[in-house]
Amino acid sequence: MKDIVLLGATGSIGRQTLDVLNSHRDAFRLIGATARQSGEALAALCADHPLEQVAVSLEHQALFDRYPHITCYDVTQIDKLVAHAPKTAVIVNALLGSAGLKPTLTALKRGMTVLLANKETLVVGGPLIKAALAEGGGAIVPIDSEHAALAHCLRGRCVEDIDKIIITASGGSFRDMARAALAEVTVSDALKHPNWSMGAKITLDSATMMNKVFEVIEAHVLFDLPYEKIEAVLHRESIVHAMIHYQDGNILAHLGPADMRIPILSALQGESCLPYRSVFDITKIGSLHFEPIHEGRYPLFDLGMVVARAGGLHLATMNAANEVAIELFLAGRIQYLDIEAAVVMALDHFPNEPVTTLEALLARDQAVRTYISEHFQEGDSR
Ligand SMILES: NC(=O)c1ccc[n+]([C@@H]2O[C@H](COP(=O)([O-])OP(=O)(O)OC[C@H]3O[C@@H](n4cnc5c(N)ncnc54)[C@H](OP(=O)(O)O)[C@@H]3O)[C@@H](O)[C@H]2O)c1
């Protein structure tokens, strides 16, 4: 029986993780869970799971008064919850944005295993994560579908044998739209992903292709591969999630339906093979298409790859500007193309420096959030 602590239990990945846990109650026990604003949904888990710890925003904490055996932390202190979890528990990090970094670092420094969906952790804190892995002897298992696919294709082989890896991108909500039309798109247009049903932010990141930049960085950190060996291509069907070209000429690809429960179960089960019925009929798919990501089509992809290669605090700058801009877009306060503008503005304003400490990184993250929020509050963006 594995003890599971689920960070971000009320989000898209969190809820799908709960589906998987509920289907395998003989293998997993949920002992910790967090939410930010979805206090009721988090409290509902208490009746069904042997929770020992939760974290939620202050205004929802009274919901847990009737469970005196459960320790309730503020949502900003998820790292404390992780620090008090049994070392043998597995952390599933399904948090959104750079808020996932501190809990991941805490878990890794304690030598725990983190099943990671929260890619922003690796984008902003790659060097700190690597140091924490070395210090604590913990492990990261990817949940992101492309990286879970790569992990499958790597089984029985080693990273040194890789010639290059390819991760695929659907092209997002606006893949068939001329760039000129993007100025007018609405939030509801942007949230219509052609293949996947996901949280709002990652759906937006897929539309701008920032998500693919994040995934390239994620692959770079997770598999210790140089950027020259990581390629992203457009693949509109989202059936092949990733492939590895080995130096001996073999190419292994991972196929599957767009269903995150599959990589979630893979990460949770480790070496076992628990049953899950996925709906997949290759004869109904017909054909698969692959094409390059043309320069200029997704400006945030082009820019993001330059930032990725440069490394340093610019990664935290890019991520924080993107997070704030997406929140503002979802709130109807800025236009879709302002997301790009916000990222460019932040990268122009803040200098790039090496990532030395967590404190410096978090200070940059906060400074960028303030800078972008104030800029758009003043209404001088258009
Ligand atoms: N969704 C997918 O299919 C998918 C696929 C691959 C990778 N990912 C990655 O997985 C992560 C989660 O994505 P998602 O789509 O599941 O997001 P989501 O639906 O927005 O859920 C985010 C979860 O984190 C909580 N949360 C949000 N902001 C927080 C903060 N500042 N501090 C603490 N908790 C916070 C939310 O709580 P409330 O519900 O209370 O707001 C919710 O439980 C992202 O990094 C994403 O890129 C997602």
Average pLDDT score, the chain: 96
* Token pair listed for 298: 């997704």
Q: Kindly state the greatest CA–CA separation across the chain.
A: 61
Closest-CA residue, ligand 1 atom 11, reads 118
Proportion of the chain above pLDDT 70, given as a percent: 99
* Section 53-67 average pLDDT: 96
Domain with 60 in it: 2-142
Ligand 1 centre to CA of 118 (Å) is 7
CA 247 to centroid of ligand 1, rounded, Å: 37
Distance CA 245, CA 229 (A): 10
Is residue 201, in this structure, part of any structural domain at all? no
Section 243-266 average pLDDT: 97
**Which ligand 1 atom is at minimum distance from the Cα of 121?**
45
C-beta separation of 169 from 234 below 8 A: yes
CA of 8 to the centre of ligand 1 (A): 6
Q: How far is the CA of 198 from the centre of ligand 1 (A)?
A: 9
Query: By the 8 A CB rule, do 215 and 117 touch?
Result: no
| Rounded Cα distance, 306 and 222, in Å | 19
Q: What angle do CA 140, 212, 186 make, to 5 degrees?
A: 125
CA of 37 to the centre of ligand 1 (A): 12
- The verdict on residue 241 lying in a domain is no
Q: Is residue 276 within 8 Å of 23, Cβ to Cβ? A: yes
| pLDDT confidence band for 380 (50 / 70 / 90) | very low
Q: What is the token pair recorded at 61? A: 């904490």
Identify whether 128 is part of a domain. Answer: yes
The residues, ordered by sequence, that sit 6+ positions from 47 with a Cβ below 8 Å of its Cβ are none
Answer yes or no: are the C-beta atoms of 28 and 4 closer than 8 Å: yes
Band of pLDDT at residue 277, cut at 50, 70 and 90: confident
pLDDT at 379: 60
- Asked if residue 300 belongs to a domain, the reply is no
Q: What is the mean pLDDT of residues 150-163?
A: 96
User: Which residue among 15, 42, 92, 95 is best mutated to probe the pocket of ligand 1, counting the most ligand atoms within 8 A of its Cβ?
Assistant: 95
When pLDDT is cut at 50, 70 and 90, the band that residue 134 belongs to is very high
**Is 364 a residue whose pLDDT tops 80?**
yes
Mean pLDDT, residues 230-252 taken together: 97
Task: List phi, psi (to 5°) of 159.
Answer: -60, -35
Distance CA 225, CA 162 (A): 9
Q: What is the mean pLDDT of residues 148-172?
A: 97
| pLDDT the model gives residue 279 | 85
| Closest among 128, 92, 101 to 269, alpha carbons compared | 92
Residue 304 falls within a domain, yes or no?
no
Query: 379, 382, 315, 310: which is closest to 343 by C-alpha?
Result: 315
Q: From the CA of 8, give the closest atom in ligand 1.
A: 43
How do strand 240-246 and strand 251-255 relate by DSSP bridges?
antiparallel
Instruction: Name the band, by pLDDT with cuts 50, 70 and 90, for residue 382.
Output: very low
Phi, psi (rounded to 5 degrees) for 191: -85, 5
Atom 6, ligand 1: which residue's CA is nearest?
A: 144
Give distance in angstroms: CA of 36 to centre of ligand 1. Answer: 10
Interacting residues of 324 by C-beta distance below 8 A, sequence separation 6+:
342, 368, 369, 372, 373
Compute, in angstroms, the gap from residue 105 CA to the centroid of ligand 1: 18
Kindly tell me if the per-residue pLDDT of 241 is higher than 80.
yes
Is 130 contained in some domain? yes
Closest-CA residue, ligand 1 atom 15, reads 199
Q: Can you tell me the mean pLDDT for 356-378?
A: 96
Please write the tens of the pLDDT for every residue from 166-210.
Answer: 999 999 999 999 988 999 999 999 999 888 889 999 999 999 999
Ligand 1 pocket test, pick from 13, 241, 322 with the greatest ligand atom count within 8 Å of Cβ, gives 13
The reply to whether 133 falls in a domain is: yes
Q: Which residues approach ligand 1 with their CB closer than 6 A?
A: 8-14, 35-38, 75, 94-97, 99, 117-120, 144, 196, 198-199, 201-202, 260
Give the number of the atom of ligand 1 that is nearest the alpha carbon of residue 120: 45
**Token duo for residue 380:** 């001088």
Q: Transcribe 309-361 into DSSP letters.
A: HH-TTHHHHHHHHHHHHHHHHHTTSS-THHHHHHHHHHHHHSPP-----HHHH
Atom of ligand 1 nearest to the CA of 202: 47
Q: What is the pLDDT of residues 86-105, one digit of tens each?
A: 999 999 999 999 999 999 99
Rounded Cα gap, residues 323 and 298, in angstroms: 18
Q: Domain containing 66 — which CATH number?
A: 3.40.50.720
pLDDT, position 9: 98
Domains: count for the chain: 1
pLDDT (0 to 100) of residue 352? 98
- What mean pLDDT is predicted for residues 274-298? 93
102 belongs to a structural domain: yes
Distance (Å) from CA 133 to ligand 1 centroid:
23
Ligand 1, atom 31, lies closest to the CA of 99
Instruction: Kindly give the distance from the C-alpha atom of residue 155 to the centroid of ligand 1, in angstroms, as a whole number.
Output: 28
HSE-up of residue 135 (Cα within 13 Å, Cβ side)? 12
Q: Could you tell me the sign of the dihedral formed by the alpha carbons of 291, 297, 301, 306, in that order? A: positive
